[in-house]
């Protein structure tokens, strides 16, 4: 069988001056995409507002040096867990790519989700794709100008809302809204929101498919992930060729009537009939469009479908194979490691440092003192007071704040002094003990009584 040629950076066949209008379609895969994307959109815009016991559900605080992840407080010392979470997500993405191609791009990628939102706003404001395409050459005035202005205003509103929500995971969203209403927002925050809104507006409204064609790294290394058994959106050339419209069709004609709808509905403007292409995001819009046409001409569905290269050649295609099993094993190990890491986080972090200005201080012939600086950081909700004590023999005394209030002293260094009487050891091992509500931890240190 002759191979279908692969096109890397196609020019959309239905484009005018490099611009094309995406035609929205309906079908089972578009319904599945909505079942995936709308909950993700709701989570993105909603989680920034969710609080549990007065604490945000998902928040990254630079000021307090803590991360609140799904209600659990983490410290910046737990950042490796975030890296592990991203690694686990990447391995899972690789597994999905080997099995089903770029379904992440088509069904869950933020770039794709926001592009579809902006396209729907465009259709709401300026009409369907055919109407927009026909009126492109007309002067921009009157009702067309009004509809264009409304479209861009709605785009800007969604971009600003997106930027404010994203920022709300780093700065309390209620503060952002209150400062915005009262016109008290800082110049730094205004600048950040403007940059994020401009990027959202450009990526989803103006650039769109160019991100998938030229900027997305996934499209460039997907060929490494794919194999002959990868299920991806494919055109069945054996069944569809030679193409012919219904008027000119004969007994040798294929099922493809060359209507071009599969190209018109593609958000990246490619012709899937040319074979596997780097710009294809596996959104399956062309499958739904083609199935609709097949239903109208009373032909079986599946001319365009999720199929592997082996299936298109008429062979069986096993789902599980060594490469896929390897990615599954790596993904499972990565996810297990991250889960274990989250079960071993610390709700209280302490640091004890010796005052380097003097190794020890001789108060009298029998009494020696060591100076320390102590920092206590709490990351458990409801944890306010920490008691500091010394685990040592009665010959040692601790001088310094006995109770630390985390809300006042979190991440602040506090001075402490340990004094010992009649200390025989040159280097005695001591431990600071920190006790809170249901938690306790200690930090060992060395007490110096004389020079070695």
Quick: pLDDT tens for 133-156. Answer: 888 888 888 899 999 999 999 999
pLDDT class of 362 with cuts at 50, 70, 90: confident
**What number does CATH give the domain 348-448?**
2.60.40.10
Q: What are phi and psi of 439, to 5 degrees?
A: -130, 150
Which alpha helices (H) appear in 211-284, and where do they start and end? 218-225, 237-240, 261-264
Q: Which of 211, 290, 299, 270 is nearest to 4 (CA)?
A: 270
Whether a cis peptide bond, with omega within 30° of 0, leads into 158 is no
157 or 18: which leads in pLDDT: 157
Q: What is the pLDDT of residues 57-90, one digit of tens each?
A: 899 888 777 788 887 777 777 888 888 999 999 8
Residue 238: per-residue pLDDT: 92
268 DSSP 8-state letter: T
The DSSP result for 79-109, as a single string, is HHHHHHHHHHHHHHHHHHHHHHSSHHHHHT-
The backbone region for 93, taken as left when phi is positive above 0, alpha when psi lies in -120 to 50, beta otherwise, is alpha
Instruction: For residues 198 and 224, give the distance between their C-alpha atoms in angstroms, rounded to a whole number.
Output: 34
Residue 9 has pLDDT above 50, yes or no: no
Percent of the chain having pLDDT more than 70? 93
Strands 413-421 and 440-448 turn out to be unpaired
Residue 291 half-sphere exposure toward CB, CA atoms < 13 A: 15
**CA trace torsion 197, 212, 332, 41 (10° rounding):** 40
- Cβ neighbours of 323 (radius 10 Å): 16
Which residues lie closer than 8 Å to 425 by C-beta, 6 or more apart? 449
Three-class SS state of 431 = strand
Q: Return the exposure string of 349-377: e unless at least 16 CB atoms fall within 10 Å of the residue's CB, then b.
A: bbebebeeeeebeeeeeebbbbbbbbbbb
Q: Which of 234, 212, 203, 232 is nearest to 278 (CA)?
A: 212
- Cβ neighbours of 46 (radius 10 Å): 12
Q: What's the angle, vertex CA 380, arms to CA 374 and CA 385, rounded to 5? A: 50
Residue 18: per-residue pLDDT: 60
Percent of the chain having pLDDT more than 90? 47
Q: How far apart, in Å, do the first and last CA atoms of the chain sit? A: 85
Token duo for residue 3: 């191979």
Residue 6: per-residue pLDDT: 46
Strand order in the sheet with 385-391: 403-405, 385-391, 427-435, 440-448
Domain regions of the chain by residue span: 1-345, 348-448
Three-class SS state of 220 = helix
Residue 138: per-residue pLDDT: 85
Residue 346: per-residue pLDDT: 76
- Poorest-pLDDT segment among 255-269, 270-284, 371-385: 371-385
Residue pair 113/41 in contact by the 8 Å Cβ criterion: yes
437 DSSP 8-state letter: S
Residue pair 422/366 in contact by the 8 Å Cβ criterion: yes
Q: What is the pLDDT of residues 419-439, one digit of tens each?
A: 888 777 767 888 999 988 878
Residue pair 96/88 in contact by the 8 Å Cβ criterion: no
Burial class of residue 274 in the structure, from the number of CB atoms within 10 Å of its CB (0-12 exposed, 13-18 middle, 19+ buried): middle
Q: What is the mean pLDDT of the chain?
A: 86
For the chain, how big is the Rg over CA atoms in Å?
31
Instruction: For residues 334 and 322, give the distance between their C-alpha atoms in angstroms, rounded to a whole number.
Output: 18
Residue 407: per-residue pLDDT: 72
Residue 1: per-residue pLDDT: 36
Residue 333: per-residue pLDDT: 94
Residue pair 368/417 in contact by the 8 Å Cβ criterion: no
The backbone region for 127, taken as left when phi is positive above 0, alpha when psi lies in -120 to 50, beta otherwise, is left
pLDDT class of 409 with cuts at 50, 70, 90: low
Q: What is the pLDDT of residues 186-206, one digit of tens each?
A: 999 999 999 999 999 999 999
pLDDT class of 411 with cuts at 50, 70, 90: low
């Amino acid at each position: 069988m002759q191979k279908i040629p692969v096109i890397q950076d196609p020019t959309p066949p239905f484009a005018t001056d490099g611009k094309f209008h995406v035609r929205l379609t309906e079908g089972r895969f578009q319904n599945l995409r909505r079942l995936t994307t709308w909950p993700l959109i709701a989570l993105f815009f909603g989680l920034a507002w969710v609080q549990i016991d007065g604490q945000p559900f998902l928040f990254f605080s630079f000021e307090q040096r803590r991360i609140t992840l799904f209600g659990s407080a983490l410290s910046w010392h737990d950042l490796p867990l975030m890296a592990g979470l991203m690694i686990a997500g990447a391995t899972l993405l690789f597994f999905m790519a080997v099995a089903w191609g770029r379904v992440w791009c088509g069904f869950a990628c933020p770039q794709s989700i926001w592009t579809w939102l902006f396209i729907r706003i465009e259709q709401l404001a300026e009409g369907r794709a055919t109407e927009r395409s026909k009126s492109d050459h007309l002067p921009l005035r009157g009702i067309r100008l009004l509809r264009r202005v409304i479209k861009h205003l709605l785009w800007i509103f969604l971009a600003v809302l997106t930027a404010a929500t994203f920022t709300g995971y780093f700065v309390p969203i209620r503060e952002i809204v209150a400062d915005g209403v009262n016109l008290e927002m800082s110049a730094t925050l205004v600048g950040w929101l403007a940059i994020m809104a401009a990027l959202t507006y450009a990526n989803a409204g103006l650039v769109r498919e160019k991100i998938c064609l030229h900027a997305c790294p996934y499209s460039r290394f997907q060929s490494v992930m794919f194999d002959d058994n990868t299920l991806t959106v494919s055109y069945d050339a054996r069944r569809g060729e030679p193409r012919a419209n219904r008027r000119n069709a004969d007994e040798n004609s294929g099922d493809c009537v060359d209507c071009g709808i599969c190209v018109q509905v593609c958000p990246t403007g490619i012709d899937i009939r040319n074979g596997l292409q780097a710009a294809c995001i596996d959104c399956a819009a062309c499958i739904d469009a083609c199935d609709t046409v097949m239903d109208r001409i009373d032909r079986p569905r599946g001319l365009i479908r999720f199929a592997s290269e082996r299936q298109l050649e008429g062979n069986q295609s096993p789902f599980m194979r060594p490469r896929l099993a390897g990615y599954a094993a790596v993904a499972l190990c990565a996810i297990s490691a991250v889960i274990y890491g989250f079960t071993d986080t610390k709700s209280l972090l302490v640091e004890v440092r010796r005052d380097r200005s003097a190794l020890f201080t001789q108060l009298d012939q029998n009494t020696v003192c060591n100076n320390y600086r102590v920092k206590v950081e709490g990351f458990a909700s409801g944890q306010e007071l920490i008691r500091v004590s010394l685990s040592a023999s009665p010959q040692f005394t601790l001088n310094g704040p006995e109770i630390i209030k985390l809300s006042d002293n979190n991440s602040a260094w506090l001075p402490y002094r340990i004094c010992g009487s009649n200390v025989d050891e040159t280097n005695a091992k001591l431990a600071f003990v920190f006790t809170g509500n249901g938690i306790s931890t200690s930090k060992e240190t060395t007490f110096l009584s004389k020079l070695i």
